[in-house]
Amino acid sequence: MKGPRDLIRFALLLAGFATCAHAQSSTPQYRLSAASGGAVAVERGGKRAVYQPQFTVIRAETDPKLGLSGFASTPGESVEGVNVENYPLPRWRAASGNGMTDIVYEAGSVTEIRATDSRSLADGGIAWTFASNPHFTLEADIRPVSGEPPRISWTFTARTPGWYTIGYTGGPGSDPAAVEGFLQPLIWQEKRFPRAPLLSAESMGGLPLTLVTRDGVTHGLSVDPRESPYRLPTIANARFGVMLRNPKGEAQPSAFAPLLGQTDSRFEAGQSATFSVRPLLVSGDWYRAFTEVARSLFGFADIRQNVGQSLNATIDAMTEFAMDDAHSGWDADLRGFDYNTDVKGTVKVVSALHPLAASLVQDDPEIYRLRALPITEFLMSRTKYLYNALPDEAGQNAARDMKGPAAEVSELAELYQMSRGQSPVFRHYALQLAGKPRQLNLLMVSDGATFWDKLALYRLTGDKATLAEARSLADAYIKMRIDTPQRDFSDVHLDRGGQFWSDFAPRFVELFELWQETNEPRYLNAALTGARRYASYAWYFPTIPDVEVAVDRGGVAPIGLFTAKPGATPIRTPEITLPAWQVSQIGLTPEAHTTYDLNPGIFL
Helix (H, G, I), strand (E, B) or coil at 70: strand
Burial per residue of 574-603, b for 16 or more beta-carbon CB atoms within 10 angstroms, e otherwise:
eeeeebbbbebbbbebbebbbbbbebbeee
Mean pLDDT of 426-454: 95
Radius of gyration of the chain (CA): 26
Q: 133 with 166: CB under 8 angstroms? A: no
Structure confidence by residue, pLDDT tens digits, 95-122? 998 899 999 999 999 999 999 999 999 9
Helix pair angle (521-535, 4-26), 10° resolution? 70
Q: Residue 280, SS3? A: strand
Q: Is the pLDDT of residue 10 over 70?
A: no
Confidence band, pLDDT 50/70/90 cuts, at residue 356: very high
Q: Is residue 561 very low, low, confident or very high in pLDDT (cuts 50, 70, 90)?
A: low
The domain spans of the chain are 20-47+116-166+174-297, 328-535, 548-598
pTM: 0.92
Rounded CA-CA distance 546/290 in Å is 23
**Mean pLDDT, to the nearest integer, of 558-570?**
66
Return the pLDDT at 253: 99
Q: Which long-range contacts (CB under 8 A, 24 or more apart) does 95-104 make?
A: 95/60, 95/64, 100/65, 100/67, 100/69, 102/69, 102/196, 102/198, 102/199, 103/196, 103/197, 103/198, 104/58, 104/165, 104/197, 104/199, 104/241, 104/243, 104/256, 104/260
CA separation for the pair 385, 440 (Å, rounded):
6
Three-state SS string over 157-212 comes to: EECCCEEEEEEECCCCCECHHHCCEEEECCCECCCCCCCCCEEEEHHHCCCCEEEE
Q: How far apart are CA 123 and CA 562, in angstroms?
A: 53
* Closest among 300, 31, 303, 276 to 148, alpha carbons compared: 31
* Residues linked to residue 137 through DSSP beta bridges, in sequence order: 157
SS (H, E, C) 104-139: HHHCCEEEEEECCEEEECCCCCEEEECCCCCCEEEE
CA max distance for the chain: 82
Report which of 209, 234, 196, 233 is spatially closest to residue 107, judged by C-alpha positions.
196
Q: Which range (358-372, 390-404, 537-551) has the least confidence? A: 390-404
Element (H, E) at 444: strand 444-446
390 pLDDT band (50/70/90 cuts)? confident
Q: Say whether pLDDT at 19 is over 90.
A: no
CA 551 vs. chain centroid, Å, equals 25
At 604, the amino acid letter reads L
* Rounded distance between C-alpha atoms, residue 258 and residue 169, angstroms: 15
Mean of the pLDDT values across residues 515-535?
98
* Listed range (244-248, 269-273, 570-574) with the worst mean pLDDT: 570-574
Please, what is the Cα angle at 356 between 353 and 360, to 5 degrees?
135
Instruction: Encode 73-110: b = buried (16+ Cβ within 10 Å), e = exposed.
Output: bbbeeeeeebbebbbbbbbbbbbeeeebbbbbbbbbee
CA 483 and chain centroid, separation: 22
The conformation of residue 397, written as its DSSP 8-state character, comes to: G
447 and 430 in contact (C-beta within 8 Å)?
no
204 burial via Cβ count (<10 Å: 0-12, 13-18, 19+): buried
Exposure of 135 by Cβ count < 10 A (0-12 exposed, 13-18 middle, 19+ buried)? middle
Beta-carbon-side half-sphere exposure of residue 483 (alpha carbons within 13 Å): 9
Per-residue pLDDT of 151-189, as tens digits, reads: 999 999 999 999 999 999 999 999 999 999 999 999 999
Instruction: Give the pLDDT of residue 570.
Output: 77
Please say if the pLDDT value at position 24 is more than 70: no
Whether 5 shows a pLDDT value over 70: the answer reads no
- Does 265 or 303 have the greater pLDDT score? 265
Burial of 148 (0-12, 13-18, 19+ CB in 10 A): middle
CB neighbourhood size of 411 (10 A): 22
Q: Is 261 left (phi over 0), alpha (psi -120 to 50) or beta?
A: left
Q: What is the DSSP string of 496-556?
A: GT--SHHHHS--HHHHHHHHHHH--HHHHHHHHHHHHHHHTTSB--SPPPSSEEEESGGGE
pLDDT > 90 fraction of the chain, expressed in percent and rounded: 83
Q: How many residues does the chain have?
A: 604
Higher-confidence residue of 315 and 393: namely 315
CA distances from 330 to 321, 349, 381, 384, 534 (A): 11, 10, 18, 18, 31
Closest CA to 346 of 406, 403, 393, 404: 393
**Across the chain, what does the average pLDDT equal?**
92
Q: Which helix (H) or strand (E) holds 320?
A: helix 311-323
Per-residue pLDDT at 11: 52
* Long-range contact set of residues 4-10: C-beta below 8 Å, sequence gap at least 24: 6/512, 6/516, 7/512, 10/512, 10/524, 10/527, 10/531
Its sign, for the CA torsion 434, 436, 438, 444, is: positive
Strand duo 181-183 + 266-267: pairing: unpaired
Task: Supply the pLDDT for residue 562.
Answer: 57
Amino acid at 517: E
Angstrom distance (rounded) from CA 368 to CA 372: 5
pLDDT at 205: 87
